[in-house]
Amino acid sequence: GNSVTQMEGPVTLSEEAFLTINCTYTATGYPSLFWYVQYPGEGLQLLLKATKADDKGSNKGFEATYRKETTSFHLEKGSVQVSDSAVYFCALEGDTGNQFYFGTGTSLTVIP
Amino acid sequence: NAGVMQNPRHLVRRRGQEARLRCSPMKGHSHVYWYRQLPEEGLKFMVYLQKENIIDESGMPKERFSAEFPKEGPSILRIQQVVRGDSAAYFCASSPRIFRVSPGELFFGEGSRLTVL
């Protein structure tokens, strides 16, 4: 079946620190992979996506590379800001196209 | 260009009452998904609908929960005889996509937070 596992939080970093949030997946076929971000009191917003192996998604300084050999899609940012404080969700679109499978979310707090 | 609109944002119900949550997808979107987010948990898929059709309801509890997306008007998630365990944030998302024509992107509403007393 399809599932997503992401590192547990919460994660607390100082401003300008390097961020990695791990995400691994289990899927049949060739899923598309996503990172969504949820700011306090809001719905989820797409942060970045990758649709095939070795694709790199990037947005707002965040990057993630679709690694089929390790079934991973880790989120990275070289220098986080206070405004990056949010909950980050890794997700995959299942092969049937009907369902999106989400991880449990990782809460990030960036302190000045 | 309005986004996905959910209402109410907050709903309080007593045990045994009914809860109705509404979702208006983005203009031009004909696919609607409902998700439930429990504290300390991720998003759990509930149901996927197109206009007048339930495509996949494999995530819906067998009893008390129902969803519809009529030809006119918003999608509605209905919970009958609510219990405390139904307290959660319910998110609606919409998509314009046709399966396998374009990789999916879901556009989320801000959620409806249900509290059952």
Which of A51, A89, A98 faces B42 most closely, judged by CB atoms?
A89
CB B62 within 8 A of CB B40: no
- Residue A50 pLDDT: 93
Provide the 8-state DSSP code for B85. Answer: G
Element (H, E) at A24: strand A23-26
Q: Are A93 and B104 in contact (CB < 8 Å)? A: yes
CB A75 within 8 A of CB A68: no
Q: Are A100 and B4 in contact (CB < 8 Å)? A: no
Q: What DSSP letter does each residue of A57-94 carry, written as one string?
A: EEETTEEEE-BTTTTB--EEESS--GGG-EEEEEEEE-
Residue A100 with chain B: CB contacts under 8 Å: 33, 45, 104, 106
Q: How many angstroms separate the CA atoms of A62 and A74, rounded? A: 10
* Bigger pLDDT: B11 vs A1: B11
Find, in chain A, the residue whose alpha carbon is nearest to that of B95: A98
Angle among Cα B85, B86, B88 to the nearest 5 degrees reads 105
Closest CA to B25 of B96, B79, B89, B102: B96
Residue A102 with chain B: CB contacts under 8 Å: 35, 42-45
Q: How many angstroms separate the CA atoms of A19 and A4, rounded? A: 19
- Residue B24 pLDDT: 96
- Residue B99 pLDDT: 54
Find, in chain A, the residue whose alpha carbon is nearest to that of B48: A98
- Residue B67 pLDDT: 97
- CA Rg value for chain A: 13
Confidence of residue B97 (pLDDT cuts 50, 70, 90): low
Would you call the peptide bond into B8 cis, given omega within 30 degrees of 0 as the criterion?
yes
B62: its two tokens? 């067998």
Find, in chain B, the residue whose alpha carbon is nearest to that of A42: B110
pLDDT, tens only, A39-95:
988 889 999 999 889 999 999 999 999 999 999 999 999 999 999 999 999 999 876
Q: Are A104 and B42 in contact (CB < 8 Å)? A: yes
Alpha-carbon dihedral angle through residues A60, A61, A65, A66, given to the nearest 10 degrees: -10
Long-range Cβ contact pairs of B110-113 (< 8 A, separation 24 or more): B110/A41, B110/A42, B110/A43, B110/B6, B110/B9, B111/A43, B111/B6, B111/B9, B111/B37, B112/B6, B112/B7, B112/B8, B112/B9, B112/B10, B112/B11, B112/B21, B113/B9, B113/B10, B113/B11, B113/B88, B113/B89
CB B82 within 8 A of CB B18: yes
Strands A44-50 and B112-116: unpaired
Residue A49 with chain B: CB contacts under 8 Å: 103, 105
- Residue A96 pLDDT: 65
Q: Are A46 and B109 in contact (CB < 8 Å)? A: no
Q: How many angstroms separate the CA atoms of A81 and A60, rounded? A: 11
pLDDT, tens only, B13-68:
999 999 999 999 998 888 899 999 987 777 888 999 998 999 889 899 989 999 99
Q: How many angstroms separate the CA atoms of A47 and A80, rounded? A: 15
